[in-house]
């Protein structure tokens, strides 16, 4: 699908390398994504008020004319750089013909500055300016985006970086990398297509020839067993992402593969890459072939350094990695969508115009039994399809299971990791109603699994179990109370919810008591991965490590259970939702009230 | 009048958003709004040539509007003989209220009419209940029971299955079974199974919304109905080829 760059063009780019093409590059990429990045010591700080203007305008997106929402003329919006300890003053002017908003994703701030229309403030009406003002009490890599309607899909987002008080970024140079997914379709049309025609964007379904190949490869009986499970469930093992490369152009700092966003380094330098997944719907697998990456921060919060070759970044998550490029050669920055329907690449190079080999897309992954909440050694089957018809699968030992067949290999390569606490989730009979097409009867911790499509890779892949907080957090109390929420969905009708009840149907907020320490237990009763985001407070992931890593967004794999510790220290009302934009719109959204 | 409008709009708000799930000032918008949409789907819109060299235009469509759980459906199915100058024959035309009762199933109830569309023709009006959705193994089904003004009860089962040949092409077997629980002499429906129709279509999606197809079908009357057809000098069974379009918007 990607057009290879013709040699002639390559020569042209090369000959034009230098200041001239750097300027040309800056015209398409936002100014902050300037190829030189930022050397440690540059001062581009928002000490004074930042003015942001939100507009809808024509812009070249990947070689075609699109009509995104721009912020100060660019899409993604400008890099906002603040310093820990300062007071942020951000004036947002709405030049759209509809309401808008900006949510500062991952920032701890007062309730009325959080920017969620209907929860923290009324929104910003057309022609109005809203003055955001808050004390910056943290540092790291974050981002900002609209929380109004489907504006995020139109590119209403940008990076937000906060320098530490001591100014030390642990590297000689840094680059910010914003990954996003762009479509030339109207986002409302995308949502309707998902609602009325299941699988609308999935052009990687299993076909008759896959089934015939399975029969040849593993026999009729086993193929029948495998297929009948999925067919009885009326679900697809190839349902990895709802919206795919069939409509998306994946972007790195606003550029597509042909326009190749380039980051420069000088040989011998340590470079900090701040990677932000600002997508509406796309999980990415990020790697730099030939270069190992040391993860030093997750969701803006420092973690003990862990060196990997690849990591999966859920929607709304951020990772900071430090790389030490060897010699004088270009490297490909490669972000592959989780369903392998597309990718975006950029280049880390010593001069503009350089390119490195771009890897092939890996084969389309398939979900295995673990996605249904089953494991090999389970005697009675862990899957229940509510609504009467029990699927009654028995004795399927040795069935094809791409999710965990290879998991052990992968784990053998890596360090020994502690396991998360066993929470022993039991589902009440009856399930979650018609809004939930599936229940994971035996949900398990999957924090040490890299996720669908990454099970068999031979290099080191980051898992949540690797993350260790860089230092303990101030509140070390044991949780006094557990709150359990289930992630539920019905793909066929595009219903997404918590506990089978979408936002418009719930009768009140999730109540946190101000000052309490609580444990949030989440169970994913769906066949999809969901990045769940809590506003206003950190979630400390119970992954068996100490100190626990802090997250603002936690991705749950199918049939996974996770637990998080939260200090309910932020009075007010906060949004809590799946960060897949169309899942949120469908109702996978709650308000958490702290009082 | 204005007062009435206010009352109606308040009632509507009361119905559509029973309780706000969070905290908000009165004039703040809802963070997530109730979403309703609709679709018009022509599952079959085809020209049929029977083994008696008759040409028919056949349609089988539905339209719906609503939210996740509650929808309103309009379904219509029928045929018109090509160039015979006679009006079309309605197999069903129904208006139904639908409620999602299980993840893959809707229970629907409403009213319908069938018979000739000729003016002055005596049509059969009936109440209808449908169990509509997707069975395990992904069979798309519409199972309905009808009761007419005389109390005659009839049942109809339609099932379709898509075998995916490629990402945009499908082989679709289809079965339709008609039965009567009571004798309905007026409408030529003796009790028992009346008719079975099997079809096989090959469909190619030019887009998700627009897919031409070709296919064949075989239809046969059953039981007492079969005797009835023979007595009237008709054929018990019929085969035909079809060319058509599946489309939605």
Rounded Cα–Cα distance for residues A35 and A25 (Å): 8
Who wins on pLDDT, A382 or B86?
B86
Cβ atoms of B67 and B100 closer than 8 Å = no
Sheet containing strand A589-594, edge to edge, reads A510-512, A589-594, A572-578, A530-534, A553-556
Cβ neighbour number for residue B70 with a 10 Å cutoff = 12
Q: What is the interface pTM, i.e. ipTM, of the complex? A: 0.89
**Between chains, do B22 and A493 touch, taking CB under 8 Å as contact?**
no
Q: For chain B, positions 204-223, list CB contacts with chain A under 8 A.
A: 208
Rounded Cα–Cα distance for residues B113 and B90 (Å): 8
Which residues of chain B neighbour A206 with C-beta distances below 8 Å? Answer: 164
**Between chains, do B29 and A192 touch, taking CB under 8 Å as contact?**
no
Which residues of chain B neighbour A200 with C-beta distances below 8 Å? Answer: 208
Kindly state whether B33 is in contact with chain A, defined as any CB-CB distance less than 8 angstroms. Answer: yes
DSSP3 helix / strand / coil % (chain A, rounded to 5): 15, 35, 50
B22, B37, B136: residue with CB nearest A234: B136
Rounded Cα–Cα distance for residues A537 and A531 (Å): 16
Rounded Cα–Cα distance for residues A130 and B80 (Å): 62
Question: For residue A349, what are the β-bridge partners?
Answer: A264
pLDDT band of A32, cuts 50, 70, 90:
low
**Between chains, do A118 and B69 touch, taking CB under 8 Å as contact?**
no
**Between chains, do A593 and B22 touch, taking CB under 8 Å as contact?**
yes
Residue contacts between A and B (CB atoms, under 8 Å): 133
* Residue-wise pLDDT tens digits, A221-245: 988 888 888 888 888 889 999 999 9
Which residues of chain A neighbour B104 with C-beta distances below 8 Å? Answer: 234, 387, 437, 492
* Residue-wise pLDDT tens digits, A350-365: 999 999 999 999 999 9
* Residue-wise pLDDT tens digits, A381-436: 334 444 433 333 333 333 334 444 444 444 444 567 777 777 777 676 567 888 88
C-alpha closest to that of A332 among A361, A355, A309, A351: A355
The C-alpha R_g of chain A, in whole angstroms, comes to 23
pLDDT band of A38, cuts 50, 70, 90:
low
**Highest mean pLDDT out of A214-223, A372-381, A555-564:** A555-564
The whole model's pTM is what? Answer: 0.89
Rounded Cα–Cα distance for residues A315 and A279 (Å): 6
**Between chains, do B102 and A388 touch, taking CB under 8 Å as contact?**
yes
Kindly state whether A245 is in contact with chain B, defined as any CB-CB distance less than 8 angstroms. Answer: no
Which run of H or E residues covers position A221? helix A220-233
Which residues of chain B neighbour A494 with C-beta distances below 8 Å? Answer: 68
pLDDT for A407 equals 41
Q: For chain B, positions 43-82, list CB contacts with chain A under 8 A.
A: 68-69
Question: How far, CA to CA in Å, does B196 sit from each of A306, B90, B156?
Answer: 66, 18, 10
* Residue-wise pLDDT tens digits, A278-326: 999 999 999 999 999 999 999 999 999 999 999 999 999 999 999 999 8
């Amino acid at each position: 699908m990607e057009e290879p760059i013709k040699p002639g063009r390559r020569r042209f780019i090369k000959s034009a390398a230098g200041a001239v093409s750097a300027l040309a590059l800056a015209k398409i990429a936002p100014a902050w994504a300037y190829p030189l990045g930022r050397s440690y010591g540059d001062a581009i700080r928002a000490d004074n008020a930042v003015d942001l203007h939100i507009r809808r305008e024509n812009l070249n997106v990947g070689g075609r004319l699109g009509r995104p929402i721009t912020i100060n003329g660019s899409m993604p919006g400008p890099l906002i750089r603040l310093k820990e300890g300062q007071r942020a003053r951000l004036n947002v002017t709405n030049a759209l013909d509809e309401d808008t908003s900006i949510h500062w994703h991952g920032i701890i701030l007062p309730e009325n500055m959080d920017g969620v229309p209907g929860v923290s403030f009324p929104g910003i009406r057309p022609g109005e300016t809203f003055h955001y003002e808050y004390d910056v009490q943290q540092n790291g890599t974050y981002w900002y985006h609209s929380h109004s309607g489907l504006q995020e899909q139109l590119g209403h987002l940008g990076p937000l970086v906060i320098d530490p008080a001591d100014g030390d970024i642990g590297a000689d140079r840094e680059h910010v990398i914003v990954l996003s997914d762009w479509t030339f379709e109207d986002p409302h049309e995308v949502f309707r297509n998902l609602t009325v025609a299941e699988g609308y964007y999935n052009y990687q379904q299993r076909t008759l020839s896959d089934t015939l190949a399975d029969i040849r490869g593993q026999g009729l009986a086993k193929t029948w067993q495998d297929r009948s499970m999925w067919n009885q469930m009326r679900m697809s093992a190839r349902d990895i992402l709802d919206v795919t490369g069939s409509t998306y152009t994946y972007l790195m700092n606003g550029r597509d593969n042909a326009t190749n966003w380039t980051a420069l380094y000088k040989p011998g330098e340590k470079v900090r890459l701040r990677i932000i997944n600002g997508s509406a719907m796309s999980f990415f697998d990020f790697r730099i072939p030939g270069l190992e990456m040391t993860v030093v921060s997750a969701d803006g919060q420092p973690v003990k350094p862990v060196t990997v070759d690849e990591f999966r970044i859920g929607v709304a998550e951020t990772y900071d990695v430090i790389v030490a490029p060897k010699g004088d050669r270009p490297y490909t920055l490669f972000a592959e969508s989780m369903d392998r329907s597309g990718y975006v690449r950029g280049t880390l190079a010593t001069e503009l115009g350089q390119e490195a080999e771009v890897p092939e897309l890996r084969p389309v992954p398939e979900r295995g039994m673990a996605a249904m909440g089953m494991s090999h050694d389970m005697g009675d089957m862990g899957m229940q399809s509510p609504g009467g018809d029990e699927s009654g699968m028995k004795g399927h030992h040795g069935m094809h299971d791409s999710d965990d067949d290879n998991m052990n290999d992968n784990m053998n390569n890596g360090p020994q990791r502690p396991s998360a606490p066993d929470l022993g989730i039991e589902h009440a009979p009856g399930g979650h109603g018609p809004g939930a097409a599936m229940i994971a009867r035996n949900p398990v911790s999957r924090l040490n699994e890299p996720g669908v499509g990454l099970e068999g890779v031979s290099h080191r892949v980051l898992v949540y179990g690797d993350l260790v907080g860089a230092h303990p957090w101030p509140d070390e109390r044991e949780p006094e109370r557990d709150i359990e929420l289930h992630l539920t969905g019905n793909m066929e009708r595009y219903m997404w919810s918590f506990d089978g009840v979408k936002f418009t149907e719930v009768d009140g907020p999730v109540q946190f008591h101000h000052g309490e320490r609580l444990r949030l237990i989440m169970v994913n009763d769906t066949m999809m991965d969901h990045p769940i985001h809590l506003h206003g407070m950190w979630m400390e992931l119970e992954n068996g490590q100490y100190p626990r890593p802090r997250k603002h967004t936690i991705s749950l794999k199918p049939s996974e259970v996770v637990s998080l510790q939260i200090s309910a220290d932020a009075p007010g009302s906060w949004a809590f939702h799946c960060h897949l934009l169309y899942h949120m719109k469908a109702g996978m959204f709650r308000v958490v009230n702290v009082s | 009048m204005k007062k009435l409008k206010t009352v109606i709009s308040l009632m509507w708000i009361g119905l559509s958003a029973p309780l706000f799930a969070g905290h908000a000032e009165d004039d703040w918008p809802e963070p997530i709004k109730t979403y309703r949409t609709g679709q018009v789907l022509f599952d079959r819109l085809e020209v049929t040539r029977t083994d008696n060299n008759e040409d028919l235009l056949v349609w089988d469509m539905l339209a719906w509007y609503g939210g996740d759980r509650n929808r309103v459906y309009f379904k219509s199915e029928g045929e018109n003989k090509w160039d015979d100058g006679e009006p079309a024959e309605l197999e069903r035309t129904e208006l139904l209220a639908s409620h999602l009762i299980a993840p893959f199933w809707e229970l629907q109830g409403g009213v319908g009419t069938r018979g000739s569309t000729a003016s002055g023709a005596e049509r059969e009006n009936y109440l209808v209940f449908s169990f509509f959705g997707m069975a395990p193994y992904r069979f798309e089904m519409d199972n309905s029971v009808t009761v007419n003004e005389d109390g005659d009860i009839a049942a109809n089962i339609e099932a379709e299955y898509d075998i995916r040949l490629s990402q945009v092409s499908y082989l679709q077997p289809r079965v339709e079974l008609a039965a009567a629980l009571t004798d309905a002499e007026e409408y030529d429906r003796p009790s028992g199974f009346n008719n079975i129709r099997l079809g096989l279509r090959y469909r190619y999606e030019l887009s998700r919304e627009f897919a031409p197809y070709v296919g064949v079908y075989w239809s046969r009357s059953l039981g007492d109905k079969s005797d009835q057809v023979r007595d009237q000098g008709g054929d018990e069974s019929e085969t035909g080829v079809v060319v058509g379009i599946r489309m939605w918007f």
